[in-house]
Amino acid sequence: MRLMPLMLAATMLAAPAMAADLTGTLQKIKETGTITLGVRDSSIPFSYLDDQQKPVGYAIDICYKIVDAVKQELKLPDLKVQTVSVLSSNRIPLMANGTIDLECGSTTNNVDRQKQVAFTNTHYLTASMFVAKKASHLTTIESLAGKTVVSTAGSTNIVQLNQANATRKLGITVLAAKDHAEAFLMVETDRAAAFVMDDIILASFIASAKDPSAYALGDEAFSLAEPYGIMLRKDDVPFKALADKATSDLYLSPEGKAIYAKWFQAPIPPKGLNLNTPMSKGMVHAYAHPSDNPDPESYVE
Amino acid sequence: MHRHQGRAVGYNWNWGIFWEQSPEGNGTYLDMLVQGLGTTLLTAALAWIIALVVGSAVGVLRTLPGRTAPLLASAWIELFRNMPLLVQLFLWYFVFPDLLPTPWAIWLKQLPNASFVTAVIGIGFFMSARVAVQISSGIEALPLGQRAAATALGLTSAQTYRYVLLPMAFRIILPPLTSELLNTIKNTSVALTIGLAELTARARAVQEFSFQVFEAFTAATLAYLAINLIATLAARWLESRVRVPGYGKA
């Protein structure tokens, strides 16, 4: 299954296609001499704007590896790279109408979404956790019983929170915030006792809070770790094969681990935060066996 | 758009999405939108009641003789009319509770439907400023002789407003008031920013789960269009019902 894209990529590299033979995204890139990356404003450390308003992050670095592979494949050393800021609400239309070619951020890869778009190899795995003020002494999911808990509207996290609430009969009042920043603000202002979200997003909010020592992650996850992927158009086999090859080459090389360490284990711009998040077991596995599988079970050894 | 990025390639239409189970596990995607529509209607209805009651009172105050009452009314109008609704909802939701004594703040923050209550009051007050301006314009549009005649008949101020000025003023401003009702309905969508699960918020949630963004927002658009058309028709019917023969349609 996983070999298919690699074999396709190998065939393509063996016999570089002429522009006329190209289809889909590669043809568009060849004709316009431009590739456009969809980037996020504040998805730290995956894709966000630094103090120069320049998009930076772990997913951006990975996307530039795909860009390098496109340059080689199309023999376009001067390929122009444009970035377009996208939101979770407009990334699909912008991808569908050809405004962006890759979405470089922290988008969860799941079965339902694969009916609409494709994802390249998983670049991160994250589980649903909660953050609370240390002073409230909340550590387990049980301890949230009877409290008000917030999550982001439309996220898989809020679904998992609702499920835990129903199956364990916790009597939690669930609030739906418009976005992550607002959900965290609700915990900050005591509107909610805890915020349920992907662990890495919570870690970045804690690190950038006014007083990081006032917050702590719970000890218990709501789910298995789910994969993040870089998004591209569905049914574009040559472009996906190229992106898969570029990312799996990166993850299997020492450079992949260096890029990981650069964003998760060292101070990052603009404020020099250090997320101090070494690779989890699942991540080590995802790097060693690059895959676009949306099933969280497939990343558990 | 690029010639080779045809619609069929770029976007995968699926109108059947509404009948599929949502990951929330308590119904279909259509049910999600219907719940959102219910919240939108309830929020709009209650906010409109507040807007009408408070707006009428402030509008009347603005036309009273003397200086204090009109000044207070103008202050209310300028305060609520000159700040974006989004900012007002944020202030009510995140800032206002912390201005209160701590026990009240905690009580307020832990209300189970805090975002709903905040949206109803916030949108109600915002719209009340606009309704107040309409009411006072309606009263001022009446010939001065009406007030004078009422006074000559020995009516008190309250009676003058109740029996002479307001019945005609309301009839005059019915058309612009209808626009304000439609604005109230549409403004409920701003409440998604304080976490209210109204129609627009639910449409966004549908697209987050399924990535069928165009289907979700097409459905929401049609729903807004339908409620606003119904509201407009109801207002037209009311206008023709309460019309005073021979007045206004000069």
DSSP string, A76-95: -TT-EEEEEE--TTTHHHHH
Reading phi first (left if > 0) and then psi (alpha if -120 to 50, else beta), residue A295 is in beta
- The pLDDT assigned to A23 comes to 87
- The pLDDT assigned to B250 comes to 43
- The pLDDT assigned to B101 comes to 92
Q: Is B163 on the interface with A (CB under 8 A)?
A: no
- The pLDDT assigned to B71 comes to 97
- What ipTM, to 2 d.p.? 0.76
CATH of the domain at B52: 1.10.3720.10
- The pLDDT assigned to B147 comes to 93
Mean pLDDT over all residues of chain A? 90
The A residues from 113 to 132 touching B (CB cutoff 8 Å) are 113, 115-117
User: Domain A128-217 - what CATH class?
Assistant: alpha beta
Q: Which of A72-76, A112-116, A145-149, B55-59 has the lowest mean pLDDT?
A: A112-116
Kindly give the interhelix angle for B174-187 and B29-63, rounded to the nearest 10 degrees. Answer: 140
- The pLDDT assigned to B4 comes to 45
Contact across the interface for A175 and B12, Cβ inside 8 Å: no
Burial degree of B34 (CB within 10 A; 0-12, 13-18, 19+): middle
* B49: in domain: yes
Q: 3-state DSSP call for residue A168?
A: coil
In chain A, CATH 3.40.190.10 covers: 3-125+225-299, 128-217
Contact across the interface for A176 and B197, Cβ inside 8 Å: yes
d(C-alpha A232, C-alpha B12), whole Å: 13
Sorted by sequence, the CB contacts under 8 Å of residue B46 that are 6+ apart come out as B120, B124
- The pLDDT assigned to A13 comes to 52
What are the distances in angstroms from CA A137 to CA A134, A166, A215, A219, A248? Answer: 5, 23, 10, 11, 42
Task: Tell me the chain B residues in contact with residue A233 when contact means C-beta distances shorter than 8 Å.
Answer: 5, 9-10
Q: Which parts of chain B sit beneath pLDDT 50?
A: 1-8, 250
Task: Tell me the chain A residues in contact with residue B112 when contact means C-beta distances shorter than 8 Å.
Answer: 173
Find, in chain A, the residue whose alpha carbon is nearest to that of B108: A191
Q: How many domains does chain B have?
A: 1
Interface probe for A, chosen from B93, B99, B206, B213 (most Cβ of A below 10 Å), is B213
d(C-alpha A174, C-alpha A155), whole Å: 13
- The pLDDT assigned to B5 comes to 44
Q: Is B234 on the interface with A (CB under 8 A)?
A: no
More confident residue, A66 or B248: A66
- The pLDDT assigned to A71 comes to 97
* B36: in domain: no
Kindly give the interhelix angle for B174-187 and B213-242, rounded to the nearest 10 degrees. Answer: 160
* Other CB atoms within 10 A of residue A206 CB: 19
Distance in Å, alpha carbon of B54 to nearest chain A alpha carbon = 28
Contact across the interface for B11 and A113, Cβ inside 8 Å: no
d(C-alpha A110, C-alpha B180), whole Å: 43
* B62: in domain: yes
Please name the member of B4, B9, B23 whose beta carbon is closest to the beta carbon of A235: B9
Q: Is A234 on the interface with B (CB under 8 A)?
A: yes
- The pLDDT assigned to A257 comes to 96
| Across A67-95, average pLDDT | 93
* B101: in domain: yes
pTM of the model: 0.83
Q: Is A98 on the interface with B (CB under 8 A)?
A: yes
Q: Is beta strand A117-119 parallel, antiparallel or unpaired with respect to A226-233?
A: antiparallel
- Amino acid type, B194: I
- The pLDDT assigned to B1 comes to 41
For the stretch A218-258, pLDDT in tens is 999 998 999 999 999 999 999 999 999 999 999 999 999 99
Distance in Å, alpha carbon of A61 to nearest chain B alpha carbon = 25
- The pLDDT assigned to A20 comes to 57
Please name the member of B4, B97, B212 whose beta carbon is closest to the beta carbon of A116: B212
Structural domain that includes position B112? 41-197
| Across A42-56, average pLDDT | 92
* B13: in domain: no
Q: Is A3-125+225-299 assigned to CATH 3.40.190.10?
A: yes
